[in-house]
Chains A and B, each alone.
Chain A
């Protein structure tokens, strides 16, 4: 009989071995590292794809149906490199606390 009691919210797979991601790893949400997020003005955006190319976490992609850039809230860490690289000045940094779903606490990663 083990002396340890593992509370439900602290359960971790043995050796931290997780099912591997097919596309994204839901076991490791990193969007909650963010303090500011880039907000896009679709009118001004020229879909030059600079944000797509420069994003270190692949958090921008082009939706070919709407022909608009789509931002990934789950994995964007708020480095704002996209804003630096945007030639159309269509991206704006906005504090997370401005949003009802803003990141203000650490979520349980898995």
Chain B
């Protein structure tokens, strides 16, 4: 039976993994994601989940264990945060290139120095180009749902790719929300057991990850490119099925709020979208035509859905929660690909970016009001800077007053 609960994002991820019937779990502690493993180890110890629980000696080992388990044909689960995500960097491309659909839960965290533990997308955004599926949830419910959906997307034979199932550290991972755990039978129906192309079989032994020559490298890269050409239609299918089976209302790629008549829009991923929607409610009362478009997948970057959504407005502000020092915008990451996605359109909005929520700071309502002011001015003047660092530049100073 489905069950109403009040869970944090960490517990939601653990129960998502449990209901996905993961078979091998590899752990190593680092906050904030570690709450997921605490919950899972209890479930395994209590006999509620029949899975191998393996302790890695670090994150590099964790992902290597998930790689091996997935190669053997198991549904594998691991996770990390912050510098832990960075430490496992070497393992990401082999898992994707080897087409092993293990899942890594990310409760994001700022990178050092100094030793900040707040939420920031910078950690796993550094691994965005390795061939993993990647997207952020904004609530514990979405964490649970994504955990289950990502396995079905990743394990689809048209895709066969590992997944970063991300949530904002603390804002989602440690704040409980009302959510629904679905009936195990219904989840089993939605997510059948993993059908690996090369299950561990003594009669049919295989080599994973052999040495190859450089002229084979390009062909392996093309395989991943083919998968990312196919993946958008698979995601659409899976999200549609999930919505139907469990009565959700997810749009596959871009979650819109008051976008239909909007003139300006906040474009962002993850938990801060909630605050953005409240800011929109307040701003609408003052007559500002503003909306929110929330990105549900960073990889694949859903170019078409973004074009459809953001072409409705005159100015877009990407709210960056990660850094791209020295990048074109001299700010964050999302603006680069957003502008690039909108460039071929005949009528495209002004795109700027706001550096907010860095180091795990809350993005306040006042900050969103300041952003709206910059965007409204941009509509009037037709101009905006590439990036604004909230509270550190004259256009966006003193937003905490």
Which A residues fall within an 8 A CB radius of B?
2-4, 6, 10-12, 14-21, 25, 27-28, 106, 108-110
In the bound assembly, the distance between CA atoms of A24 and B97 in angstroms comes to 24
Q: Are A14 and B215 within 8 A (Cβ)?
A: no
**Shortest Cβ distance from residue B118 to the other chain A in the assembled complex, whole angstroms:** 37
CB within 8 A of B220: which of A3, A16, A18?
Answer: A16
Q: Are A4 and B209 within 8 A (Cβ)?
A: no
Chain A residue nearest in CB terms to B100: A15
In the bound assembly, the distance between CA atoms of A19 and B160 in angstroms comes to 19
Tally of A-B Cβ pairs under 8 angstroms: 73
Determine the interface band of chain B, counting residues with CB < 8 A from chain A.
20 to 34
Give me the 4 closest cross-chain CB pairs, A-B, nearest first.
Answer: A15-B99, A20-B205, A12-B219, A10-B219
Q: Are A15 and B212 within 8 A (Cβ)?
A: no
With A15-B100, A16-B97, A20-B207 as given contacts, are A2 and B226 in contact (CB-CB < 8 Å)?
Answer: yes
**Shortest Cβ distance from residue A56 to the other chain B in the assembled complex, whole angstroms:** 15
In the bound assembly, the distance between CA atoms of A110 and B272 in angstroms comes to 49
Q: Are B229 and A2 within 8 A (Cβ)?
A: yes
> Could you name 5 residue pairs across A and B whose Cβ atoms are closer than 8 Å?
A10-B218, A12-B219, A14-B197, A14-B223, A15-B97
In the bound assembly, the distance between CA atoms of A108 and B214 in angstroms comes to 10
Chain A residue nearest in CB terms to B198: A17
Residues from chain B with Cβ under 8 Å of A14 in the complex? 99, 160, 197, 223
In the bound assembly, the distance between CA atoms of A10 and B222 in angstroms comes to 10
Residues of B94-121 contacting chain A, CB below 8 A: 97-100
Residues from chain B with Cβ under 8 Å of A110 in the complex? 212, 216
Q: Are B219 and A19 within 8 A (Cβ)?
A: no
Residues from chain A with Cβ under 8 Å of B208 in the complex? 15, 17
Residues from chain B with Cβ under 8 Å of A4 in the complex? 222, 225-226, 229
Residues from chain B with Cβ under 8 Å of A108 in the complex? 213, 215
In the bound assembly, the distance between CA atoms of A110 and B216 in angstroms comes to 9
Residues from chain B with Cβ under 8 Å of A2 in the complex? 226, 229-230
